[in-house]
Amino acid sequence: MTTTHDLIVLGAGSGGLATAFRAARHGARVALLDPAALGGTCVHRGCVPKKALWFAAQWAQAQHLAKAVGFASQPGPLDWERFNEVRAGYIDDIDRRYAQRLQQAGVELIRQAGRFASADTVELGDGRRLQAAQIVIATGARPRTLELPGFELGMLSDDVFALRAPPRRVTIVGGGYVAVEFAGLLQALGSQVEVLAHERLLEGFDEELVDALERHMRQQGIGIHLHSEVRAAHRDAGGIRLDDASASREPVDAVLWAVGRVPCTATLGLAAVGVDTDERGHVKVDARRRHHPEGADAGGCRRRATTG
């Protein structure tokens, strides 16, 4: 059976939800598809749980400051179990509230993954088909993994939110915003953190700001090693040890791989409907983020910025 809409949105993360709400407000018949909880990376594995950790980190620092200026309170550690419980309660409620708002907006929410059956048709897991003149791909990104020995010994950013206690010593591999943010958070919450960055921190950001940030991070006690090239990870009696091209690092209790994010486009059936992607799976789009079939407006194509 094929159902017809004006717009189908694949993915109910920040991008897909905003698109669906806006289109519905303009009177479009919208179908929004997602097999996972509403809100995507930002709500469940990104901004929101990260900001919760950020608040905790601020309170940890404020405790020390309070004592330094004469308060009688003693800085104490965070009860991560309790903290995770409170955070989960808040996040679960976001899914329920989005579902309610989508219903009020008249968006048809379908809790299944979709893939292209043809240029204007999406097929669901249960075999149903939806048709629309416009289809938006908002399937986000996931943490990139590397083919190197011992990679499985480390965590990805998603795993940080499942930690039940801060690692005593942690190495973060990567120099992007995920690496830098977690470095500050974990150090403030009691871990001894070192960052191994490929080139410099926050490549592409304003250099003066990055230099100031790097100085500040070092003052906080975070070890920063630039121009690192991690080749392998292995476990020995002391913990997890990373082999860098230039040095064998001291063992640590945990490793966080923060080596970039890759788009979730592999299972969408894009090639079959003539949608071009680059070698990492980014859909090639023009300056207005529209895909053009091969050959059309090739000059305006640029890589889609994947922030997720």
Q: Report 54-93 residues binding ligand FAD (CB under 6 A).
A: none
Cα–Cα distance, 156 to 179 (Å, whole number): 10
Cα–Cα dist 215/137, whole Å:
40
Determine which residue in the list 140, 174, 175, 176 makes contact with ligand FAD, applying CB under 6 A.
140
Interface with ligand FAD, residue 40, by CB under 6 A: yes
**Which residues of 70-216 form beta strands (DSSP E)?**
108-110, 114-118, 121-124, 129-137, 141-143, 169-173, 192-196
Q: Which of 33, 185, 189, 217 binds ligand FAD (CB under 6 A)?
A: 33
Q: How far is it, in rounded angstroms, from Cα 136 to Cα 120? A: 11
From the list 28-36, 197-205, 212-220, 222-230, the region that binds ligand FAD by CB under 6 A is: 28-36
- Closer to ligand FAD at the Cβ: 172 or 249? 172
154 interacts with ligand FAD by CB under 6 A: no
Which two three-digit tokens encode residue 185? Answer: 């958070």
Judged by beta carbon, residue 112 or residue 246, the one nearer ligand FAD is: 112
Residue located via tokens 């894009």? 270
- Scanning 73-81, 83-91, 112-120, 229-237 for contacts with ligand FAD by CB under 6 A, the matching segment is 112-120
Q: Which of 135, 195, 264, 270 binds ligand FAD (CB under 6 A)?
A: 264
Note whether 34 binds ligand FAD by CB under 6 A.
Answer: yes
DSSP state of 112: S
- Number of residues engaging ligand FAD in binding (CB under 6 A): 31
Q: Which of 8, 57, 114, 184 binds ligand FAD (CB under 6 A)?
A: 114
E strand residue ranges, the chain: 2-10, 30-33, 108-110, 114-118, 121-124, 129-137, 141-143, 169-173, 192-196, 223-225, 230-236, 239-244, 254-257, 261-263, 284-285, 302-303
Among the listed residues 3, 29, 36, 95, the single contact to ligand FAD using CB under 6 A: 36
Among 15, 154, 174, 184, binds ligand FAD (CB under 6 A): 15
Contact pick of 23, 172, 178, 285 for ligand FAD (by CB under 6 A)? 178
Among 268, 275, 283, 285, binds ligand FAD (CB under 6 A): 268
Quick one: DSSP state of residue 151? G
Distance CA 158, CA 244 (A): 24
CB of 114 or CB of 154, closer to ligand FAD = 114
Amino acid identity at 307: T
Whether 241 contacts 235, CB under 8 Å:
yes
Q: How far is CA 262 from the centre of its chain?
A: 10
Q: How near is the Cβ of 51 to ligand FAD at its closest, in Å?
A: 6
The residues that touch ligand FAD, with contacts defined as CB under 6 A, are: 10-16, 33-36, 40-42, 45-47, 50, 113-115, 138-141, 157, 178, 264, 268, 307-308
